[in-house]
Amino acid sequence: MEEPWSIGIDIGGTKLEAAYVDEMGHVRQRVRKPTNIKGGPSAIIEDVINCMWALREGAVSTPVGVGVGVAGQVEKGSGKVKFAPNLDWRDVPLQEELQHSVGLPVIVTNDVRAATWGEWLYGAGRGCDDILCMFVGTGIGGGVVSGGQMLSGCDNTAGEVGHITVDLNGPRCSCGNRGCLEALAGGWAISRLAREKVEADPEVGRLMLEMAGGQIEEINVQIVARAVRGGDPIARQLMDGVVDALVAGASTLVNAFNPCRLILGGGVITGMPDLIGRIDKGLRKLALSAACSSLMVIPAGLRTDAGVIGAAALASRTFMGNSPK
Amino acid sequence: MEEPWSIGIDIGGTKLEAAYVDEMGHVRQRVRKPTNIKGGPSAIIEDVINCMWALREGAVSTPVGVGVGVAGQVEKGSGKVKFAPNLDWRDVPLQEELQHSVGLPVIVTNDVRAATWGEWLYGAGRGCDDILCMFVGTGIGGGVVSGGQMLSGCDNTAGEVGHITVDLNGPRCSCGNRGCLEALAGGWAISRLAREKVEADPEVGRLMLEMAGGQIEEINVQIVARAVRGGDPIARQLMDGVVDALVAGASTLVNAFNPCRLILGGGVITGMPDLIGRIDKGLRKLALSAACSSLMVIPAGLRTDAGVIGAAALASRTFMGNSPK
């Protein structure tokens, strides 16, 4: 007899991925498709269903359930996607529709929350009751487990760690506020800052401009990272400012939540892994010493698989009688 | 037969208070003493014990237990006071010593956490599973209940909401960091700002200086509040900056924790109650709309009694078999 397994699905703005995840949190098989945003919710839902069938074809047993992480705000309980700007969705009853179509129990959550479930149960947070995951990608998101409980908050939006204010007079954020951590240290903000610097003085920004083939608008985080490695003083200076913001934000979070482990992931972190040590060092200077005394600052363990693994794990816990804490 | 009751104790930097608190969270009797800091831990512990005996004298039944809130860092479980700067204590095994001396079960927690217990169980947070209390006094502290659980964190320091960074280039805080919420909006920071303004231009700061009897060092939050009510433009401008910081800090907390109720208390808030409405209004502009959709911003309900009521309630829950969530 096959061991129990679940399907984990990650619906992002560019691709959707479905995975067969076993009891040990290992991905046994996966299917990917580009996200068909233009087709609207029904096209994406159809693609999700097809991915699920593809995974079930090769399996002997029926999965325990399906967990879905979606880049948007999700209503607790109903699993309705209230708002997903990257997908252009509003009020899509995703959980209900999938459940109806596939005849399996389905649970829908936010994509970053799903990744936090993954890191908690099978990644860098394993066995720990107090973790804070911060994923620094294009945007900054995260999730918090405190006292062995995944925090969800009043409207299921707890853990928006990218939108903590670290500079109340700082630059405008995509959310409308000023000086959010994301507006100073998210991938989009780093790209914007680099372009501004090059635009202000192309001579000084020569290296980054060359790397971008002479096109200012092609300058992005990857180029900044390469320029830093190449010793470019402008890129280094820019990243010093980003580190200051990340340290300020991490101090806020450590003081407010007092996690045992601060787990850092996302494209910006994996692209510049020395950020972890710099954040750790800065934190120990600025955060309250009592809040840091047991703290470990460590990289995420599951990389890009955290989302599907976490979504599947959430489904297993929910539908195997071990309801998620 | 008398109904069950507990003793709640609040050990602060200037006074200690012990109260007979009934099952409904009402203070039936109280005893106060100035905190004898010079006498060291043993003098204060003796005073606490005497207060407890005074409360027990008039009672028919034995209290269920004793809850103590102390202004300092407390070790979870052992109830040892690791560090209490205002009392000049380090590593005082308060819970053990009291328990040994009075023969009753004792639980020790941080004073702000105790006040949060009070607000949650009997005050403005009653019946709600997701609350965030922020007490703006000389310093700024708080506590968080999320998913029906009081957050404590890895080292029992969760909820240090005064030390969230709102301006990473801001003024130095007492904790050593820069631009903490407390350094921009705590009572000590407001007093300092007012003194700086008056010092820079005594003519402009005339009203506040007069109110302080001509002594700059006598200018404090109460005087700033009176000057605001008196229409002083300098005091008003100063408080506008304080409100900006409080709004930025509250936005951070609402986005990170997503509480249903943001409960505001402490001397600065009770002295200038219009701050609550101003923070509420500012928050709705700056915090994520999804995180505010169910949010209520309300005043604390128990005022200065929150500490003793909360400490007693914690003892009742812990020692009557209903261990605190």
Q: What is the ipTM of this complex?
A: 0.95
Interchain CB contact of A200 with B (< 8 Å): no
How would CATH label the architecture of B124-301?
2-Layer Sandwich (3.30)
| Partners of B10 in beta bridges | B17, B69
Please state which CATH number belongs to domain A127-301: 3.30.420.40
| Residues A258, B163: C-beta atoms closer than 8 Å | no
| Residues A251, B166: C-beta atoms closer than 8 Å | no
* Nearest Cα residue in chain A from B284: A177
Interchain CB contact of A286 with B (< 8 Å): yes
Helix (H) or strand (E) holding B94: helix B94-102
| Residues B291, A245: C-beta atoms closer than 8 Å | no
Q: How far is A81 from chain B (nearest CA, A)?
A: 12
Interchain CB contact of A295 with B (< 8 Å): yes
For A168, which of B73, B178, B248 is closest by C-beta distance? Answer: B248
How big is the A-B interface in CB pairs under 8 Å? 163
* Nearest Cα residue in chain B from A72: B290
Are the C-beta atoms of A140 and A155 separated by less than 8 Å?
A: no
The domain locations on chain A are 5-118+304-319, 127-301
The predicted structure's pLDDT at residue B325 = 44
- A237 Cβ contact partners less than 8 Å away, ≥ 6 residues apart: none
Q: How far is B176 from chain A (nearest CA, A)?
A: 7
Task: Tell me which CATH homologous superfamily contains domain A5-118+304-319.
Answer: ATPase, nucleotide binding domain (3.30.420.40)
Strands B149-150 and B296-299: unpaired
Which pLDDT tens digit goes with each residue over A61-83? 999 999 999 999 999 999 999 99
* Nearest Cα residue in chain A from B166: A166
Q: What is the DSSP string of B195-246?
A: HHHHHH-TTTTHHHHHHTTT-GGG--HHHHHHHHHTT-HHHHHHHHHHHHHH
Which pLDDT tens digit goes with each residue over B235-254? 999 999 999 999 999 999 99
A chain contacts of residue B250, beta-carbon cutoff 8 Å: none
Does A5-118+304-319 match A127-301 in CATH topology? yes
Digits of tens for pLDDT over chain A (325 positions)? 568 999 999 999 899 999 999 999 999 999 999 999 999 999 999 999 999 999 999 888 999 999 999 999 999 999 999 999 889 999 999 999 999 999 999 999 999 999 999 999 999 999 999 999 999 999 999 999 999 999 999 999 999 999 999 999 999 999 999 999 999 999 999 999 999 999 998 888 999 999 999 999 999 999 999 999 999 999 999 999 999 999 999 999 999 999 999 999 999 999 999 999 999 999 999 999 999 999 999 999 998 999 999 999 999 999 986 554 4
| Residues A164, B130: C-beta atoms closer than 8 Å | no
Q: Is B14 exposed, middle or buried (0-12, 13-18, 19+ CB in 10 A)?
A: exposed
* Nearest Cα residue in chain B from A128: B154
Reported residue count of chain B is 325
SS3 A125: coil
How would CATH label the architecture of B5-111+304-319?
2-Layer Sandwich (3.30)
Q: Is A12 exposed, middle or buried (0-12, 13-18, 19+ CB in 10 A)?
A: middle
